[in-house]
Structure 1
Amino acid sequence: MNVRSHVIVDAAISPYRRGEIPLAMPFIDSLPDNSVTLLDKGFYGADLLLSLQNSGINRHWLIPARKGLKYTLLDEEESNDMLIEMKVSLQARKKNPSLPEKWQVRAVTYEVQGKQKTVFTSLPRTNYDAKAVAELYHERWEIELGYRDIKSSMQHKAQVLRSKTVDLVYQELWGLLLGYNLVRREASQAAVEHGRMPNEISFKYACQFIASQLKVMSKAISPGNTPKRLKSLRGDLSILFIDKRPKPNRPRAVQMSKTRYPVNRKAAPLK
């Protein structure tokens, strides 16, 4: 997902037995040059990250550091912005013999709400200072907001999909992603025309507005007038811009499953 526009760049769906990293490897070929890929800690792996930075032109990555990793400091002393070297695991090299025995990463440490956070990146120090790297990684939260829009605005917080067979589950998921991208594309085009950021448009209301307009266009407007109507639609979206709000401090929690039995939240613990 593009964190600035929330448009989905690529997607893959598979059975749950397939891990996230093998599922992500084919994405490398579709990444644009001169880009930075922001990943969560579940995608940490020398094979994926080295393959990413060695492909294309000027492709870089940014990911949270794993705790407890052993490394060799390549700078004269430790700091909040240092170059380190780590060993590539034997398991990774067995799967991909072209991997080196060791690899170098840049470790940037910063403070958030009194806590120290460290991220690894391939971005060079000469072009990006430690503050810029820290601020850039915080944009990864925009991806979570995009997922929220699909689950909340499009799915109305439904716990499960409607489909009952494997083929229909795939069809429903691809349909959701396609519909989401149609809304995001029009919202992005409207933002460009109004000189605003694409993620400043309320997705919930844009989805409702665009869906209703597309239904009208498909029935009452000739194909030749579609470009003119789309331009008018993007102008109408100007009323849906919102001011960006700071990310709320809401710790993640497991959602309680529905039950027909009453739940006593003050019950004494089992002994």
Structure 2
Amino acid sequence: MRARIGHHVDLTALSRSVDVDWISQALAATGKASVRRRKLPAEQVVWLVIALALYRHQSIADVAAHLSLALPDEVNPDIAKSALTQARQRLGQAPLAQLFAICAACWDERHQNGRAWRGLTRYAVDGSTLRTSDSEENRAHFGAQSYTSGVVASYPQLRLLTLTALATHLVRDAVFGAYDTNEMLYAKSLVDQVPDHSLTVFDKGFFSASLLLRLQTQGTQRHWLIPAKANCVWERLDQTPGDYRVRMKVSPQARQAEPGLPASWEARAIETTTRHGKKRILLTSLMDTKAYPAKDIVHQYEERWRIETSYRELKQELLGSELTLRSGTPETVCQEVWGALLAYNLVRLEMAEIAVEAEVPPTQLSFTATLHYLRQEWGWMAIEAPGKIPAHLVRLRNRLGDLLLSTKRGRSCPRVVKTLPRKYDQRTVSALK
């Protein structure tokens, strides 16, 4: 059974973390501010898009009605479903992208205080995919996965990369687009937004001299950490056991594509063993062994695995395990993704602020429980007197403070390689009789 929104939700409760000036700034910067009085002005449509992610199983008409988004009109109190669709199309994606950038930077900086590791804020880059509705426009714009057999996926897909804070799991920045575009190209635009005095952790799929040197040489004290690939070749520069410097050659193909790349580059190699007994070598730009001990660096890479749960939270918890985004055009698909990222960060922001009061790491709180109680409390706030709203917020934070995760969650099972689609149907025993 799909959950229903029980009451009209007061936008004061939803918007207390988002400065109204930020919305005005985003609308003005993108030329989308409402010039004439509309029943559904641009400011309200912004909240509609965010609420569509928070209440994923509700129709757009239900969400608009329960949020009381339309301005009162004595002549025509109702608003047509087509008007809601037109309002979203009129708004476009640009204001949501601008608003996300403003909010994400402010919220991340607010909650990085006191959570830096040896003077460095910590981030992780990771990628995933989202499926869009199957329309000619979406298929032409985003493309779809194709297999070696020539079979093309039934639905278009978009590729999404995020820059996520390790301390809070707030998404600092994101980039997404066509499925066929290589993740490395998206990653290059993403690393340009990494703050100074930081450490960014990557999965081995992002191992590239072009990408890592771009991060390291632009800005101030921007460091990286990544596991070495099995086929990595280097020259060992010292014989310190388990923690040594290496020199690697930059491939001729990479230098031809980017003439500014050096002929070789150096890194620090740290040998470690996973909890499953597998040997691993981590490469990093943190060369100072005294300032950055090997054991602490290994711990930072282990923290990266927990970032992967953020996509599960976004796709399964926030979006309700819906396989396909609801929007039908590339512009509204992008708008929907920005709205979902804003909604995800709103939940993570509340978790970070609860954690400050409870004096615990934000990652020790349950995202699922937080989302559940936020939806519940927002509903109750709408039917209470405004003076009682602060008491509800205190109650919400106290209840969530009691729902700390008892132990750190890790990977419960090893990774497996998924079976590729077969070119021919597999015969069963019954079919052969």
TM-score per shorter chain, which class?
0.7 to 0.9
What does the per-residue CA deviation read over 1:80-129, in whole Å, with 9 as the maximum and x for residues that have no partner? Answer: 11101011112222222221111001111111222211111111223122
Gap change, CA 1:33 and 1:227, over 3 Å in 2: farther
TM-score (norm 1): 0.85
Q: 1:251 aligns with which of 407, 411, 414?
A: 414
Q: 1:235, CA displacement in angstroms?
A: 3.6
**C-alpha distance in 2, partners of 1:3/1:216?**
32
Gap change, CA 1:225 and 1:27, over 3 Å in 2: farther
Q: Provide the secondary structure at the position in 1 that maps to 2:375.
A: helix
Gap change, CA 1:94 and 1:242, over 3 Å in 2: same
Q: Does 1:149 pair with 2:313?
A: yes
1:1-271 aligned at under 5 Å gives the runs 1-75=164-238, 77=239, 79-112=241-274, 113-124=276-287, 125-217=289-381, 222=386, 230=393, 233-253=396-416
Contact 1:28/1:55 (<8 A) preserved: no
Gap change, CA 1:212 and 1:246, over 3 Å in 2: closer
Gap change, CA 1:225 and 1:29, over 3 Å in 2: farther
Contact 2:224/2:286 (<8 A) preserved: yes
Q: Provide the secondary structure at the position in 2 that maps to 1:10.
A: strand
Which structure's CA Rg is the greater one? 2
**C-alpha distance in 2, partners of 1:105/1:72?**
11
**C-alpha distance in 1, partners of 2:301/2:411?**
17
Q: 1:4, CA displacement in angstroms?
A: 1.8
Q: 1:27, CA displacement in angstroms?
A: 2.3
User: Match for 1:252: what amino acid?
Assistant: R
Q: 1:149, CA displacement in angstroms?
A: 1.1
**Structure 2 residues not aligned, in runs of 5+:** 1-163, 421-425
**C-alpha distance in 1, partners of 2:228/2:390?**
47
**C-alpha distance in 2, partners of 1:103/1:174?**
37
**C-alpha distance in 1, partners of 2:247/2:417?**
37
What does the per-residue CA deviation read over 1:29-81, in whole Å, with 9 as the maximum and x for residues that have no partner? Answer: 32122211011112111111111112222211101101222211111x26311
Gap change, CA 1:83 and 1:153, over 3 Å in 2: same
Q: Provide the secondary structure at the position in 1 that maps to 2:350.
A: helix
Identity %: 37
**C-alpha distance in 2, partners of 1:65/1:254?**
19
What does the per-residue CA deviation read over 1:115-168, in whole Å, with 9 as the maximum and x for residues that have no partner? Answer: 211111111223122211211101111111111111221123333323333223
Contact 2:207/2:226 (<8 A) preserved: yes
Work out the number of aligned pairs and report it: 261
User: Match for 1:211: what amino acid?
Assistant: R
**C-alpha distance in 1, partners of 2:313/2:265?**
38
Q: In the alignment, what sits opposite 1:260?
A: none
- Structure 1 window deviating more from structure 2 (243-252 vs 229-238): it is 229-238
- Structure 1 window deviating more from structure 2 (246-255 vs 77-86): it is 246-255
**C-alpha distance in 1, partners of 2:335/2:385?**
28
Gap change, CA 1:135 and 1:91, over 3 Å in 2: same
Contact 2:188/2:211 (<8 A) preserved: yes
**C-alpha distance in 2, partners of 1:36/1:204?**
28
Structure scoring higher RCO (CA < 8 A, sep ≥ 6) equals 2
**C-alpha distance in 1, partners of 2:177/2:368?**
28
TM-score (norm 2): 0.55
Q: 1:12, CA displacement in angstroms?
A: 0.8
**C-alpha distance in 2, partners of 1:149/1:163?**
20
CA RMSD of aligned residues (A): 2.7
Gap change, CA 1:231 and 1:246, over 3 Å in 2: closer
Q: Provide the secondary structure at the position in 1 that maps to 2:265.
A: strand
